[in-house]
Amino acid sequence: MAPVTTAGKEMHALVERLYPLCRSITGDGVRATLDIVGEYIPLQVREVPTGTQVLDWTVPQEWNIREAYIDDPAGNRVVDFAESSLHVLGYSVPVSATMPLAELRAHLHTLPDHPSWVPYRTSYYKPEWGFCLAQETLDALPDGEYEVRVDSTLADGHLTYAEHVVPGQVTDEVLVSCHVCHPSLANDNLAGIAVATFLARALAEQKPYYTYRFLFAPGTIGAITWLARNAERIERVKHGLVLACAGDSGRLTYKQSRRGDAEIDRVMRHVLAASERPHHVTEFTPYGYDERQFCSPGFDLGVGSLSRTPYAGYPEYHTSADNLDFVSPEAMADTLAVCREAFAVLDRNRRYVNLSPYGEPQLGRRGLYDSLGGRSDAKQAQMAMLWVLSLSEGEHSLLDVAERSGLPFGTVVAAADALCGAGLIEA
């Protein structure tokens, strides 16, 4: 895993700032999150009104919450939203009542297998209210009358998402997406937000070939809303990557697009294998994060998903144990490094045409062999030139050359640049 870089420390600090906020699929918590991200990169924030038809869905009412608690018969506050946004069932409707413990239990959610952890639960599309608490807290509650209060609003408003665009040399786009709808969960989803933010900053310091569009949106309904609002220009999206669970100590996991042979799939497989990092590549399944929206048959975009330990693959998933100690600067720095390596390959992976295709051109006469003098990898660089010449008929990409020859992609790129400079090939 990568050492703790400055970026790793800064990403962890960003996660720490975002962690206390109560996020959901709509509401002020999402806006506050985007306000903070907007301090790092400029964002175009979009507001879509409640009731807007988006593909087969409708933008829901906006949910906001100010206060929520349970007081026991003695007046002791045993559950308090002010301590953690996980304590309230997401999208809970307002309630102010006194009831016996037997009646209250139907609205309480725990994790019996992990009695000290608080679960994350929601009820987005069904009017309900509830609290999440540790099983050990529930076990200690005495019988009697409890005061229950949820001070929330569920009313017409907006769904909020944001975009950041890094302009490229061409208008073809690479889409990078992360979800901004989970409350105090550090790995799922705050680490993904942090890596996306710092990836955007890194790309802005370069002059990328592709235009990179970063999407910060609520899961499912946010991606569907973005797709509905961008259907007429969706053909610009040539490649894409969903970032989630990006900060734990597990090995990197890449989930392929529905196509399985999209260019981003090949690039990620190549980069992960060449890096010799512990990793796992999985087939596409129509369950997970927003790759399933982008890969739905009507759009069929070449979008994969990068995480460390995948969703539901670690006990801490969707619990209070997914906290600031569960994610590390080292892991986020490593995830960021892989993204940068992959996009460097994607940006340079083009096809070339050999302008001297009849027989092998004389490289020595053009000074190409002399340019390798003294290089420790001179033989490898020479072979790269020959491979690029051999496979430059307009059908094979530089990634094809690297995979077929077994040479590093960077060596193949350097060979292509040298051959271009000598007038022997052209893109």
Q: What is the pLDDT of residues 90-121, one digit of tens each?
A: 999 999 999 999 999 999 999 999 999 999 99
Strand partners, 148: 70, 97
How large is the average pLDDT for residues 5-24? 96
8 A C-beta contact, residue 135 and residue 111: yes
Name the token pair of 308: 């460390």
8 A C-beta contact, residue 97 and residue 197: no
CA–CA distance, 332 with 202 (Å, rounded to integer): 14
8 A C-beta contact, residue 326 and residue 186: yes
Q: Where in the chain is the domain with CATH 3.40.630.10?
A: 6-59+158-348
The 3 state secondary structure assigned to the chain is: CCCCCHHHHHHHHHHHHHCCCCCCCCCHHHHHHHHHHCCCCCCEEEEEECCCEECCEECCCEEEEEEEEEECCCCCEEEECCCCHHHECECCCCEEEEEEHHHHHHHEECCCCCCCCCECCECCCCCCCCEECCHHHHHCCCCCEEEEEEEEEEECCEEEEEEEEECCCCCCEEEEEEECCCCCCHHHHHHHHHHHHHHHHHHHCCCCCCEEEEEEECCCHHHHHHHHHCHHHHHHEEEEEEECCCCCCCCEEEECCCCCCCHHHHHHHHHHHHHCCCEEEECCCCCCCCHHHHCCCCCCCCEEEEECCCCCCCCCCCECCCCCCCCCHHHHHHHHHHHHHHHHHHHHCCEEEECCCCCCCCCHHHCCCHHHCCCCCHHHHHHHHHHHHHCCEEEEEHHHHHHHHCCCHHHHHHHHHHHHHCCCEEC
Tell me what the pLDDT averaged over the chain comes to. 95
User: What CATH topology corresponds to 6-59+158-348?
Assistant: Aminopeptidase (3.40.630)
318 is in an annotated binding site: yes
Question: Does position 1 have pLDDT exceeding 60, yes or no?
Answer: no
Closest to 262 (Cα-Cα) out of 300, 210, 289 = 300
pLDDT digits (tens, 9 = 90+) for 47-97: 999 999 999 999 999 999 999 999 999 999 999 999 999 999 999 999 999
CA–CA distance, 225 with 159 (Å, rounded to integer): 9
CA dihedral 178, 179, 182, 183 (to 10 degrees): 60
Name the token pair of 199: 């990836």
Residue 364 pLDDT: 81
Residue 380 pLDDT: 87
CA–CA distance, 24 with 89 (Å, rounded to integer): 10
Question: Does position 3 have pLDDT exceeding 70, yes or no?
Answer: no
188 is in an annotated binding site: yes
CA–CA distance, 414 with 395 (Å, rounded to integer): 19
Residue 2 pLDDT: 53
Closest to 289 (Cα-Cα) out of 360, 205, 192, 198 = 192
Which pTM does this prediction carry? 0.95
182 is in an annotated binding site: yes
Sign of CA dihedral 98, 100, 106, 111: positive
CA–CA distance, 50 with 407 (Å, rounded to integer): 53
Residue 164 pLDDT: 98
8 A C-beta contact, residue 339 and residue 276: no
Q: What is the largest CA-CA distance in the chain?
A: 94
CATH number of 351-426: 1.10.10.10
| Angle at alpha carbon of residue 59, lines to 89 and 81, rounded to 5° | 20
Question: Does position 261 have pLDDT exceeding 80, yes or no?
Answer: yes
pLDDT digits (tens, 9 = 90+) for 336-380: 999 999 999 999 999 999 999 999 898 888 888 766 555 556 788
8 A C-beta contact, residue 296 and residue 246: no
Residue 317 pLDDT: 97
Question: Does position 295 have pLDDT exceeding 80, yes or no?
Answer: yes
Question: Does position 242 have pLDDT exceeding 70, yes or no?
Answer: yes
Residue 365 pLDDT: 85
Residue 412 pLDDT: 95
The CATH class of the 62-155 domain is alpha beta
Q: Where in the chain is the domain with CATH 1.10.10.10?
A: 351-426
Q: Give percent of the chain with pLDDT exceeding 70.
A: 97
Residue 362 pLDDT: 86
Residue 379 pLDDT: 83
Among 17-21, 366-370, 411-415, which is the least confidently predicted range? Answer: 366-370
Other residues' Cβ atoms within 10 Å of the Cβ of residue 72? 17
